[in-house]
Amino acid sequence: MDSEITSQQPKTSQVETKPKLNPNNRSFKLQAKNVDVFYDDFQAIKDISLDIVENSITAFIGPSGCGKSTFLRLFNRMNDNIDGFQMNGEIRIDNKNIYDESIKVEELRKRVGMVFQKPNPFPKSIYENVAYGLRIQGVKDEDYIENRVIESLKQATLYSEIEDSLDKQALALSGGQQQRLCIARALAVKPSVILMDEPTSALDPISSGKIEDLIHELKKEFTIVIVTHNMQQAARVSDNTAFLYMGNLVEYGDTQKIFTNPKKDRTQNYITGRFG
Amino acid sequence: MNIKEKIIEKVLALCALITILTTVGIIGVLLVEAVGFFREVSIIDFLTGTEWTPLFADKNYGILPLVSGTLLTTFIAIGVALPVGLTIAIYLNEYAPKRFKKVLKPLLEVLAVVPTVVYGFFALMIVTPFLKLFITDLSGFNALSPGIVMGIMIIPFVSSLSEDALAAVPDSLRQASYGMGSTRFQTAFRVMVPAASSGIMVSIILALSRAIGETMIVAIAAGQTPVFTFDPTVPIETITAYIVKVSSGDVPQGTVAYQTIFAAGITLFVVTFILNNISFWIKNRYQEKYE
Amino acid sequence: MGIIASISGIVVLAIFIGFVIYMGIQRLSWDFIVQLPSRFAEESGIYTAWMGTVWIMVFTTLISFPLGVGAGIYLEEYARQNRWSMFLEINISNLASVPSIIYGLLGLGVFVRMMQMGNSILAGALTLSLLILPIIIVSTREAIKAVPSSIRDASNALGASKWQTIWHQILPASFGGILTGVILALSRAIGETAPLIVVGALVYVPFAPQNPLDEFTVLPVQIYNWVSRPQEEFIINAAAAIIVLLGITFIMNGIAVYLRNKWQSKMEW
- The residue extents of the domains of chain A are 2-110+191-271
Which segments in chain C show pLDDT lower than 50?
Answer: 269
CATH number at residue C164: 1.10.3720.10
Question: What pLDDT is attached to residue B288?
Answer: 54
Distance of CA A222 to the CA centre of its chain: 11
Q: Which domain holds residue C41?
A: 2-266
Choosing among 3.30.70.100, 3.10.20.600, 1.10.3720.10, 3.40.50.300, the CATH entry for A2-110+191-271 is: 3.40.50.300
The set of chains that have 3 or more CB pairs under 8 A with A is: C
Residue-level pLDDT at C2: 73
Residue A21: what pLDDT?
A: 56
Average pLDDT over residues A160-172: 92
- For B124-180, write each residue's pLDDT tens digit: 999 999 999 999 889 999 999 999 999 999 999 999 999 988 988 888 888 888 888
- The lowest-confidence range among A237-241, A272-276, C24-28, C98-102 is A272-276
Instruction: Decide if B261 and C105 are in contact by the 8 Å CB cutoff.
Output: yes
pLDDT at C209: 87
Give me the pLDDT at residue C186, please.
Answer: 96
- Residue B107's pLDDT is 87
Question: Would you list the domain boundaries of chain B?
Answer: 2-40, 64-290
Q: Would you call C148 an interface residue with chain A, using a CB distance cutoff of 8 Å? A: yes
Can you name the residues that pair with A97 across neighbouring β-strands?
A: A92
Mean pLDDT for A226-254 is 92
pLDDT at residue A8 tops 70: no
CA distance A109 to chain C (A): 5
The chain C residue lying nearest B130, using CA atoms, is: C16
Q: Per-residue pLDDT for B290 more than 60?
A: no
Neighbours of chain C (3+ CB pairs under 8 A): A, B
- C37 touches B: beta carbon within 8 Å: no
Tell me which residue in B28, B87, B272 faces C5 most closely, judged by beta carbons.
B87
Q: B291 falls in which pLDDT band (50, 70, 90)?
A: very low
End-to-end Cα distance, chain A = 11
Residue C85 forms contact with A (CB below 8 Å): no
More confident of the two residues A65 and B19: B19
pLDDT value of position B234: 93
Q: What is the pLDDT of residue B287?
A: 64
pLDDT at position A9, please? 41
DSSP letter for each residue of chain B: -HHHHHHHHHHHHHHHHHHHHHHHHHHHHHHHHHHHHHHHS-HHHHHH-S-B-TTSSS--B--HHHHHHHHHHHHHHHHHHHHHHHHHHHIIIII--HHHHHHHHHHHHHHHHS-HHHHHHHIIIIIHHHHHTT-TT--SS-SHHHHHHHHHHTHHHHHHHHHHHHHTS-HHHHHHHHHTT--HHHIIIIIIHHHTHHHHHHHHHHHHHHHHH--HHHHHHT-S-------TTS----HHHHHHHHHHS-PPTTSHHHHHHHHHHHHHHHHHHHHHHHHHHHHHHHHHHH-
pLDDT given at position A25: 57
| The listed CATH number (1.10.3720.10, 3.40.50.720, 3.40.50.1820, 3.10.105.10) that belongs to domain B64-290 | 1.10.3720.10
Summarised one tens digit per residue, pLDDT across range B182-229 is 888 888 888 888 888 888 999 999 999 999 999 999 999 999 899 999
For residue A24, give how far its alpha carbon lies from the nearest alpha carbon of chain C (Å). Answer: 31
What value of ipTM does the predicted structure carry? 0.92
pLDDT at position A16 is 43
pLDDT band at A17 (very low <50, low <70, confident <90, very high): very low
The per-residue pLDDT for range B80-133, each reduced to its tens digit, is 999 999 999 999 888 888 888 888 888 888 898 999 999 999 999 999 999 999
Answer yes or no: do C154 and A137 touch at CB < 8 A. no
Q: Is the pLDDT of residue A6 over 50?
A: no
- pLDDT of A254 reads 93
Searching chain C, which residue's CA lies closest to the CA of residue A194? C157
Q: Show which of residues 123-182 on chain C sit within 8 Å of chain B, judged by CB atoms.
A: 130, 133-134, 137, 161-163
Q: Are C227 and B120 inside 8 Å of each other by CB?
A: yes
Give chain A positions within 8 Å (CB) of C76. none
- Averaged pLDDT of chain A: 87
Give the DSSP letter of residue C231: -
